[in-house]
Amino acid sequence: MKRDSIYYQVFKRFPSLLFELVNNPPPQARTYRFDSVEVKETSFRIDGVFLPPPGAIPKTVFFAEVQFQKDESLYHRFFTESLAYLYRNQSLYDDWRGVVIFPSRNLEPSKTTIHRSLLNSDQVQRIYLNELEDSQQSLGISLMQLPLASETRMADQARQLIVRVQQEQTASLAKSEIIDVITTIAVYKFSRLTRAEVEAMLGLRLEETRVYQDAKAEGEQIGEQRGEQRGERNVKLKMIPRLVAKGLSLEEVAELLEMPVEDVRQAAQPQS
């Protein structure tokens, strides 16, 4: 999994995390809703949109972009998509703000002159995760910085963060949800490790976390689908001799049942 997509997963769980990073967050920051929206009549899809709650004053929409690859066209795309969305939804919002998150400054586009009026305004904020202060960090900021750690450091940081979550009061974020996100990041980072090794590394039982439960549910769904497919195939195999007996050719039966001709040929042979 790409690291920028991990951040969108984090924002989906905890939309209020964005507002721990930005200057002058809105009064209703804890009740914003994270979404991914399409802009009609264009090919644009904006992955990180934070929508104000009903009744918010002012009605400010936030556009967020997490960028972990060098992309010189980033600002062209970001502002074009954001302003196109605002054009299509003029009656819904009073104001907008943009937040662009980089792991470090060296991934920011080198040419910013054309967008300087926006980039230098208080309407757009650029955040560099490796420059956030280490001292007295909130849990949210520590969580945002975790994917930046190297494999040699992430295990220790993940364990320390889990201990901190278990010990501290978290008014805005549920402890179990935070631990689930930490576990998800670690599982993707250490995908080559076994479940037992990840459990030992984090000091957790994965079966108690959402990432394990989601994976288990997905596996069960795949198993059910395969079972349905096997059942459907068995029904088709039983139909083949009757269809052949009615005078259909093997090719016609194969086309009718959407099966390979060789499979039909084998099923049509008399059983000894």
235 shares a domain with 177: no
Pairing relation of β-strands 60-66 and 33-38?
unpaired
Q: How far is CA 145 from CA 4, 139, 163, 188, in A?
A: 12, 10, 16, 15
Q: Which of 46-50, 94-98, 176-180 has the lowest mean pLDDT?
A: 176-180
187 shares a domain with 242: no
Q: How far is CA 111 from CA 67, 74, 96, 101, 128, in A?
A: 16, 10, 23, 17, 17
173 shares a domain with 161: yes
162 shares a domain with 40: no
125 shares a domain with 33: yes
Q: What is the pLDDT of residues 20-46, one digit of tens each?
A: 889 999 999 989 999 988 776 555 678
Is the pTM higher than 0.85? no
18 shares a domain with 105: yes
Model confidence at 216, pLDDT cuts 50, 70, 90, reads: very low
pLDDT at residue 121 in the model? 96
1 shares a domain with 125: yes
Give me the domain span that covers residue 189.
Answer: 134-208
186 shares a domain with 83: no
* Mean pLDDT score, 174-194: 76
Is 199 in contact with 205 (CB distance < 8 Å)? yes
Cα–Cα distance, 62 to 181 (Å, whole number): 23
Name the domain boundary from 131, 153, 184: 131
| Of 55, 91, 66, nearest in space to 1 by CA | 66
pLDDT at residue 171 in the model? 56
141 shares a domain with 81: no
231 vs 124, higher pLDDT: 124
Is 84 in contact with 98 (CB distance < 8 Å)? no
Q: Is the pLDDT of residue 214 over 70?
A: no
Q: What residues contact 261, with CB distance under 8 A and at least 6 apart?
A: 250, 251, 254
pLDDT at residue 137 in the model? 67
State what percent of residues in the chain have pLDDT above 90. 30
How many structural domains does the chain have?
3
State what percent of residues in the chain have pLDDT above 70. 80
Q: What is the pLDDT of residues 253-268, one digit of tens each?
A: 887 788 888 888 888 8
241 shares a domain with 153: no
DSSP string over 169-232: --SSS-HHHHHHHHHHHHHHHTTTS-HHHHHHHHTS-GGGSHHHHHHHHHHHHHHHHHHHHHHH
Name the domain boundary from 101, 131, 161: 131
**Site of tokens 């955040």:** 127
4 shares a domain with 117: yes
